[in-house]
Amino acid sequence: MNKTSVSLAVFGALFAFGSQIAQAAPDWSKVPKRDVQVFHAGVTPIEWVTKKSDHSGRTGLVKGESCVGCHEEKGGLNFDMKRLAGKDLEPVGAPKTMNFPVTVQAAYDKDNAYIRLTFKAPAGGANNADKDNEVKVAVMFANDKVTAAAGDKTIPGDQLGCWATCHTDARTMPGADDKKTKYTKDGAYELMQWKSAKGAKAVDGSVTDKRNMEGGTAGVKAEGDNKGGTYTVTFTRKLNGALAEGKAVPFGVAVHADHATGRFHHISLGYKLGFGAEGDIKATKQ
């Protein structure tokens, strides 16, 4: 090594060290991107998904197939969007844009997980009841105990996305009590949400026998901005609870666009986020 390359190497090492201290959040330019489609699911709660006469996919589900395994093709979804927007599955009204991509990035270090979501939120929603928030973004992580019953069979939570929380009798479903929130029969989801209203607090909650919008132990922080219609939302939360190194954690994303409330969101199917483990998305170790 000549003199110049030695000093360059030293400088490089110092620079890397310095930037590590200055920068708690990950360098997103080094974190791979994975597009996940979110869609308007109409009235297709877990009871619908697990009933053979409604959904032929039930047969595959009880054999161990996941939603993504059947419904994701070439990065898109193979749903019949006309059917999902039609009167049978959407009696109230469907959004103009039935699906759109959300770019997901994930990273972690020994203390925290970092999730960044980038998307364009479409206008033209059918429900605009949230006056305060134009957009809300939620991520839910299932713990190991989530299951759903399909007749005499039990389907594990890692095949179900967020559907194990979505029931026919939950608020905004046709004829349901407006006080009844989403819930699980077994296990729990950790829920975090960012809201676009100025000064809104990040939600650090859970879904158990009801939805809890606080009381979580993940120390959730969320930041978001809207640049020319493109939202970038970054969550920071502890690597605790359902999340741990060496684990692939089932998760799903929901975007309430255009002031939507309740079930009028665009949701993803269930994916797995690997922390030092295989997954649909692998979190980059920082």
Cβ at position 79, least distance to ligand HEC in Å = 4
In this structure, what token pair is assigned to residue 25?
């959040």
Work out the angle at residue 253's Cα, subtended by the Cα atoms of residues 249 and 256, and round it to the nearest 5 degrees: 160
- Please tell me whether residue 101 binds ligand HEC under the rule CB under 6 A: no
Of 36, 38, 45, 61, which lies in the binding site for ligand HEC, with binding defined by CB under 6 A? 61
Q: Closest Cα partner for 254 from 159, 166, 170, 176?
A: 166
Size of the site for ligand HEC (CB under 6 A): 21
Site for ligand HEC in 9-48 (CB under 6 A): 41, 44
Instruction: Write the CB contacts of 257 (distance below 8 Å, at least 6 apart in sequence).
Output: 95, 121, 122, 123, 125, 134, 135, 265, 266
HSE of 270, CA atoms in CB hemisphere, 13 A: 26
Residue 217: other Cβ atoms inside 10 A: 12
Please pick, from the candidates 25, 47, 62, 71, the single residue that binds ligand HEC as defined by CB under 6 A. Answer: 71
Q: Which of 67, 117, 135, 170 binds ligand HEC (CB under 6 A)?
A: 67
Stretch that binds ligand HEC, among 116-124, 136-144, 155-163, 183-191 (CB under 6 A): 155-163
Q: Which is nearer to ligand HEC, 82 or 110 (CB)?
A: 82
Q: Which is nearer to ligand HEC, 54 or 225 (CB)?
A: 54
Cα→Cα distances 2→8, 15, 88, Å: 10, 20, 75
Q: In the set 31, 43, 57, 232, which binds ligand HEC (CB under 6 A)?
A: 57
Half-sphere exposure of 183 (CA within 13 A, CB side): 10
Please identify, using beta-carbon distances, which residue of 5 and 56 lies nearer to ligand HEC: 56
256: Cα within 13 Å, side-chain hemisphere:
24
Closer CB to ligand HEC, 88 or 178, in the complex? 88
**Could you tell me which stretch among 54-62, 110-118, 134-142, 244-252 binds ligand HEC (CB under 6 A)?**
54-62
Q: Using CB under 6 A as the criterion, which residues of the chain lie in contact with ligand HEC when the complex forms?
A: 41, 44, 49, 55-57, 60-61, 65, 67, 69-71, 79-80, 83-84, 160-161, 163, 269
